[in-house]
Amino acid sequence: MDTSVVKAEYKVFKELGLKLDMSRGKPSSEQLELSNAIHNQLSTFKSKEGIDIRNYGGAHGLLEARLLFESLLDIPYSQIIVDNNSSLALMHDAIVFALIYGFPDGAPWIRKPISILCPVPGYDRHFAICEALGINMININMHEDGPDIEEIKNIVKDNPDIKGIWCVPKYSNPTGAVYSDEVVHSLATMDTAASDFKIFWDDAYRFHHLTDEKISTANILEQCTKAGYPNRPIIFSSTSKITLAGAGISALAASSSNIAWWEKCTAVRSIGPDKVNQFRHVQFLKDRVNVEHLMGQHSRILKPKFDAVIQQFEYYLKDNPNISWTNPKGGYFIDLKVPQGFAKRTIELAKDLGITLTPAGAAFPYKIDPMDSHIRIAPSYPSLSEITQAAKGVALSLLLALNE
Amino acid sequence: MDTSVVKAEYKVFKELGLKLDMSRGKPSSEQLELSNAIHNQLSTFKSKEGIDIRNYGGAHGLLEARLLFESLLDIPYSQIIVDNNSSLALMHDAIVFALIYGFPDGAPWIRKPISILCPVPGYDRHFAICEALGINMININMHEDGPDIEEIKNIVKDNPDIKGIWCVPKYSNPTGAVYSDEVVHSLATMDTAASDFKIFWDDAYRFHHLTDEKISTANILEQCTKAGYPNRPIIFSSTSKITLAGAGISALAASSSNIAWWEKCTAVRSIGPDKVNQFRHVQFLKDRVNVEHLMGQHSRILKPKFDAVIQQFEYYLKDNPNISWTNPKGGYFIDLKVPQGFAKRTIELAKDLGITLTPAGAAFPYKIDPMDSHIRIAPSYPSLSEITQAAKGVALSLLLALNE
């Protein structure tokens, strides 16, 4: 596109004075309304086990809720804890407990400097936990089939201070990458110098397909157990993007030994999770088939928004061989890859158009994108017409940045 | 009572084969039903500030919920965080954050051995947090007007490693003690060698009166602020024994500086609390007057149970000058004080009658009651007839123990 045309279009856009937010992977109200029936009055407060769900107790979560997650995660319910509304809180606490108490197979992490591997670009909130807690982060390159496994194998086999890796195995935030069976197998079987090496497996988008392909990933707990490392993975899941973003339920799954450790660590923290909300979820979600049906409804709202972004990118950006974007088969994000050194400037120019994007570098440890070339696009929250506008604005901002 | 009569009555009781649980301060189902309307369908999901309560966000809690706690705690809402169902979790996390990050006025507590003062008998779960986290506990004697303030003043003024004190200021667990204005004033004004000395103020029974007296205690935050120590107290509250024991909402109140610190520590942990449950609570509880009305209904269920216990104790135990019990004006417990060395044995004998009591020593750090003389009675959960039986059984067990 001609520079003068870009400038003119950018100017016209700016004069519209829009206010568009594509910064976070928030579901839209339309999506939240798919779960309206979750607020229906409960007909009983007695659980399957005869517990009054309103009272104290049940640290590992309601049996019904654990059975629901058993069917969703393909892991026995006895190895699943169901908790309150935030799986991020479970990840945070797992690392805090590792720092203070240590995992059953190692010493407290706080005793000496440790590192965690961070496939990049990745989820900013994973990296924020590490940064706050003073845990060193090491970048690992992401490919379409997961993180660079040779890089990982090389670094973990000799270094006992590398204690873990963050993984979003399916429709990864933000690239949409899906871990191949080979990658999962390698993570499960590789030699690690640290006896207490942990895979923090954030299965955030397990049912969040955007196509009919409904991709599945290998069962990390099964793979690790088969390889003789049952205590390696800690799996996190939630209904935040299935039912209600801020009022869902969360789950942690792991080996029996890790579950016993978790129960011991958390026993002094609380007398149990909110079982009423767990019960509501069980009554509403019922079973895996029903969850998959619900996710189909989400998909029908989300897919046109992703398509609209990609259509705008194709229209404005397809002529530039140094610009690319992901076309994910699920999840909540598109990763726009721009020429080195242009992400920050593009985001600034978009801001002048009234478009809020995730800050440049957010998808990297310490908020530093070494190439300044990734822009995370979150199409879920705005309306379809807003998202179309916003994508056009981002494209124009990028073209203007390149022409400056 | 004659030994042979005691033995005979004990034997008859045992043959009844009862199963009674007086171990925990759990509300009865009858109490939980007082809040049935909290489960009613919500008519809107938009908050006062225009937020969709179902979505992510709002780390400090819904404005409406903070305003409700403002009216309940007499602390400005801007200094209140409202969170999920467990105030114990807030206490636990405050201490974990102090260990790892340190309070704004001190270094991370984990750097060297520290101690916390524990008025005894006290709340077992406070002590369990300290024990798990390796924090040394120092017993402080409880009186009817609060902990022994001279003991406290003496020990904190020269010892910078004493970092805090646990307090249940009103209807204290388990003695029912109410902190006098003098005690609160002394705690607020006393010199402490530690600049980051903290009062963990667990205001668990603020509205939980058993008489019409409706005792109030001095505002610790106001007192500390006036004394020039605004950052000394961290106040905890919840609706667990107002609405639903396992599905209420909790609050943390403190100085603006401590609140900013808390928000920073928790920002990486979660994208916000369950605002739907907070909204339900606001709709149901409405305001302080309504909360007080609801607490009157709780009181009318609880009071006869306390009276029944005391009646049995009077009937069986009043002749023994070395036995005494509290007759609390609120809260959830009666403290039965038995001659030195007889608590454990009484609890064993009661167990043989099918009565589960809180384990001996539970109300003391490290579960050690140095005099083996306190038995915590929790009359709330069983029915009135069960509680009458159970109290009789405890009395008989004690008499038998003394006669062995």
Looking from the CA of A304 toward its CB, the CA atoms found within 13 Å total 9
Are B56 and A245 a contacting pair at CB < 8 A? yes
Tell me which chain A residue has its CA closest to the CA of residue B52.
A29
Percent of chain B exceeding pLDDT 70 equals: 100
Per-residue model confidence (pLDDT) at position B391: 97
Please report which helix (H) or strand (E) contains residue B263, including its range.
helix B256-267
Topology (CATH level 3) of domain A46-285: Aspartate Aminotransferase; domain 2 (3.40.640)
- Kindly list the residues from chain B whose CB atom is less than 8 angstroms away from the CB atom of residue A244: 54-55, 276
Q: Which two tokens stand for residue A199?
A: 């895979």
Are A275 and B93 a contacting pair at CB < 8 A? no
Total CB pairs under 8 A between chain A and B: 157
Topology (CATH level 3) of domain B50-286: Aspartate Aminotransferase; domain 2 (3.40.640)
User: How many Å apart are CA A174 and CA A330, to the nearest integer?
Assistant: 11
- Min distance A202 CA to chain B CA atoms (Å): 14
- Kindly list the residues from chain A whose CB atom is less than 8 angstroms away from the CB atom of residue B378: none
User: Is the CB of residue B149 less than 8 Å from the CB of residue B111?
Assistant: no
Neighbouring C-beta atoms of residue A48, cutoff 10 Å: 10
Per-residue model confidence (pLDDT) at position A400: 97
Are B274 and A132 a contacting pair at CB < 8 A? no
| pTM, rounded to two decimals | 0.97
Per-residue model confidence (pLDDT) at position A166: 98
- Kindly list the residues from chain A whose CB atom is less than 8 angstroms away from the CB atom of residue B84: 84-85, 274
Based on C-alpha coordinates, what's the Rg of chain B? 22
User: How many Å apart are CA B391 and CA B373, to the nearest integer?
Assistant: 17
- What does the pLDDT average to over B9-18? 95
User: Is the CB of residue B357 less than 8 Å from the CB of residue B22?
Assistant: yes
- Min distance A246 CA to chain B CA atoms (Å): 4
Per-residue model confidence (pLDDT) at position B129: 98
Of B88, B131, B272, the CB nearest to A270: B88
Are A268 and B128 a contacting pair at CB < 8 A? yes
Peptide bond into A108 cis (omega under 30): no
User: How many Å apart are CA B89 and CA A83, to the nearest integer?
Assistant: 13
- Kindly list the residues from chain B whose CB atom is less than 8 angstroms away from the CB atom of residue A51: none
Are A86 and B270 a contacting pair at CB < 8 A? yes
Q: What is the pLDDT of residues B265-298, one digit of tens each?
A: 999 999 999 999 999 999 999 999 999 999 999 9
Of B26, B52, B99, the CB nearest to A56: B26
**Mean pLDDT estimate for chain B:** 97
- Kindly list the residues from chain B whose CB atom is less than 8 angstroms away from the CB atom of residue A267: 128
Of B236, B211, B294, which is closest to residue B32 (Cα–Cα)? B294
- Min distance B44 CA to chain A CA atoms (Å): 11
pLDDT band at B2 (very low <50, low <70, confident <90, very high): confident
Per-residue model confidence (pLDDT) at position A356: 96
Q: At what angle do helices B288-317 and B384-403 cross, to 10 degrees?
A: 40
Successive 10-residue mean pLDDT values, chain A, 404 residues = 92 94 94 96 94 96 98 98 98 98 97 97 97 98 98 98 98 97 98 98 97 95 98 98 98 98 98 98 98 98 98 96 97 98 98 96 96 97 96 98 94
User: How many Å apart are CA B188 and CA B219, to the nearest integer?
Assistant: 10
Are A268 and B26 a contacting pair at CB < 8 A? no
First to last CA, chain B: 14
Per-residue model confidence (pLDDT) at position B1: 79
Residue A74 CB-density burial (10 A; 0-12 exposed, 13-18 middle, 19+ buried) = middle
- Kindly list the residues from chain A whose CB atom is less than 8 angstroms away from the CB atom of residue B86: 269-272
User: How many Å apart are CA A163 and CA A98, to the nearest integer?
Assistant: 10
To which residue do tokens 């954030």 refer?
A202
- Kindly list the residues from chain A whose CB atom is less than 8 angstroms away from the CB atom of residue B35: 54
- What does the pLDDT average to over B381-391? 96
- ipTM of the complex in this document: 0.97
Are B276 and A247 a contacting pair at CB < 8 A? yes
User: How many Å apart are CA B153 and CA B159, to the nearest integer?
Assistant: 10
Per-residue model confidence (pLDDT) at position A2: 87
What is the residue extent of each domain of chain A?
3-25+291-403, 46-285
The CATH class of the B3-25+291-403 domain is alpha beta
User: Is the CB of residue B324 less than 8 Å from the CB of residue B398?
Assistant: no
